[in-house]
């Protein structure tokens, strides 16, 4: 459980919103119908398109656009880690890969022309290091990988990987739509062993929102920033495809959108914080954070990081304080 003691002080200084004077309403059903379920449906559709495109033409040049689109769709729901996503998010998006498992596993598959790379169903048993969006990024953008020929093993592998991704996305979509949405909606009802009360369902979603923003600030932005003396640009997320900044913005927007759907009241400070984040992003010159060793560029990225935290603080104020809830434990609590 992440207890933000410094923030607590900030909350105390803020004008007090009486938590119980007017019972607050929060809409788990609305968060599902307006954000989560369309998010997974959109991702499933985009990955189906990507798999179809790979079937027609496996070359990197023709797949970059549908891959980009699939990643955009993923970001709406990327930071949700409950229900089907508890175990299902990681094989779609295994990152960070601090020990280089992804290139290692891809190289092994390709040099050995392993049979599993031709079988989209069996591919589900392959290490997550070679499944999902990030290894596809290697195949489509990394100079060591992307220049494969039609008809080559690598070409077939890309077709297999995109098909596997579409299958994963369809399973996530179905898992949410057909099962877990009801678990959240029926929180507190008899027979629901997961959530004993509506409050627990609200807190579960609220935890996803804050955890996602924390991950964006600490990891998506924190990793490439490194330290002033030792910035680490190649630790940025999805830098090969140049979408590091885009991910930061889309993931932050995903968190805000889910929060806005969850709250049936206005979130003016949070909205302003998100708008400001987009403004500040315009100052960043290198969208893959590869210029963070330049002091002025570094400053722009640091300011972005502060703004993501400001968005998180605003949401704590406008949702957490109002409801009197703290986020629960999250999957990022380890090290």
Task: Report how far residue 193's alpha carbon sits from residue 294's, in angstroms, rounded to the nearest whole number.
Answer: 52
Q: What is the DSSP secondary structure assignment for residue 77, as one 8-state letter? A: T
Q: Taking CB under 8 A as the rule, does residue 1 contact other proteins? A: yes
Give the per-residue contact string, 29-68, with other proteins (x = CB under 8 A; - = no). ----------------------------------------
**Shortest Å distance, C-beta 245 to other proteins:** 21
Contact status, residue 165 vs residue 131, Cβ threshold 8 Å: yes
Residues 144-203 within binding reach of other proteins (CB under 8 A): 194, 196-200, 202-203
Task: Report how far residue 306's alpha carbon sits from residue 325's, in angstroms, rounded to the nearest whole number.
Answer: 23
Q: Taking CB under 8 A as the rule, does residue 135 contact other proteins? A: no
Q: Taking CB under 8 A as the rule, does residue 261 contact other proteins? A: no
Q: Please give the distance of CA 36 from its chain centroid, rounded to a whole number.
A: 12
**Shortest Å distance, C-beta 232 to other proteins:** 8
Q: Taking CB under 8 A as the rule, does residue 3 contact other proteins? A: yes
Give the per-residue contact string, 86-125, with other proteins (x = CB under 8 A; - = no). xx--xx--x---xxxx-xx--------------------x
Contact status, residue 43 vs residue 172, Cβ threshold 8 Å: yes
Question: How many residues bind to other proteins according to rule CB under 8 A?
Answer: 53
Q: Is 232 exposed, middle or buried (0-12, 13-18, 19+ CB in 10 A)?
A: middle
Nearest to 102 by CA among 70, 140, 67, 54: 140
For other proteins, give the closer residue by CB, 196 or 272. 196
φ/ψ bin of 242: left (φ > 0), alpha (ψ from -120 to 50), beta (otherwise) = left
Q: Which stretch binds other proteins (CB under 8 A): 40-48, 85-93, 170-178, 284-292?
A: 85-93
Q: Which stretch binds other proteins (CB under 8 A): 40-48, 70-78, 226-234, 255-263?
A: 226-234
Task: Report how far residue 210's alpha carbon sits from residue 203's, in angstroms, rounded to the nearest whole number.
Answer: 10
Which tokens belong to 145? 């990988």
Nearest to 315 by CA among 1, 7, 2, 12: 7
Task: Report how far residue 142's alpha carbon sits from residue 312's, in angstroms, rounded to the nearest whole number.
Answer: 34
Among 33, 59, 127, 219, contact with other proteins (rule: CB under 8 A): 127
Q: Which residues bind other proteins (CB under 8 A)?
A: 1, 3, 8, 11-12, 19-20, 23-26, 86-87, 90-91, 94, 98-101, 103-104, 125-129, 194, 196-200, 202-203, 226-227, 230, 234-235, 321, 323-326, 328-335
């Amino acid at each position: 459980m992440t207890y933000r003691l410094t923030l607590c002080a900030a909350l105390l200084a803020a004008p007090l919103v009486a938590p119980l004077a007017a019972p607050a309403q929060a809409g788990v059903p609305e968060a599902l119908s307006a954000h989560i379920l369309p998010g997974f449906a959109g991702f499933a559709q985009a990955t189906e398109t990507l798999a179809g495109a790979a079937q027609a033409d496996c070359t990197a040049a023709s797949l970059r656009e549908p891959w980009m689109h699939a990643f955009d769709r993923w970001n709406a729901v990327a930071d949700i880690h409950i229900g089907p996503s508890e175990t299902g998010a990681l094989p779609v998006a295994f990152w960070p890969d601090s020990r280089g498992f992804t290139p290692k596993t891809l190289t092994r598959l390709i040099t050995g022309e392993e049979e599993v790379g031709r079988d989209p169903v069996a591919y589900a048993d392959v290490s997550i290091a070679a499944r999902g969006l990030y290894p596809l990024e290697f195949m489509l953008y990394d100079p060591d990988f992307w220049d494969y020929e039609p008809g080559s093993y690598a070409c077939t592998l890309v077709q297999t990987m995109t098909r596997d991704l579409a299958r994963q996305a369809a399973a996530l979509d179905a898992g949410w739509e057909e099962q877990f949405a009801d678990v959240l909606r029926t929180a507190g009802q008899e027979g629901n062993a997961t959530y004993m009360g509506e409050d627990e369902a609200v807190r579960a979603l609220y935890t996803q929102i804050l955890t996602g923003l924390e991950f964006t600030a600490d990891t998506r932005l924190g990793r490439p920033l490194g330290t002033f003396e030792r910035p680490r640009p190649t630790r940025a997320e999805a830098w090969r495809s140049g979408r590091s900044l885009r991910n930061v913005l889309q993931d932050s927007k995903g968190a805000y959108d889910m929060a806005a759907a969850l709250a049936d009241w206005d979130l003016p400070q949070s909205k302003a914080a998100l708008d400001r984040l987009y403004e500040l992003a315009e100052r960043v010159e290198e969208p893959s954070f590869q210029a963070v060793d330049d002091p002025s560029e570094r400053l722009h990225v640091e300011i972005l990081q502060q703004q993501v935290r400001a968005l998180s603080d605003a949401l704590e104020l406008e949702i957490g304080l109002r409801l009197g809830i703290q986020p629960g434990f999250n999957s990022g609590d380890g090290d």
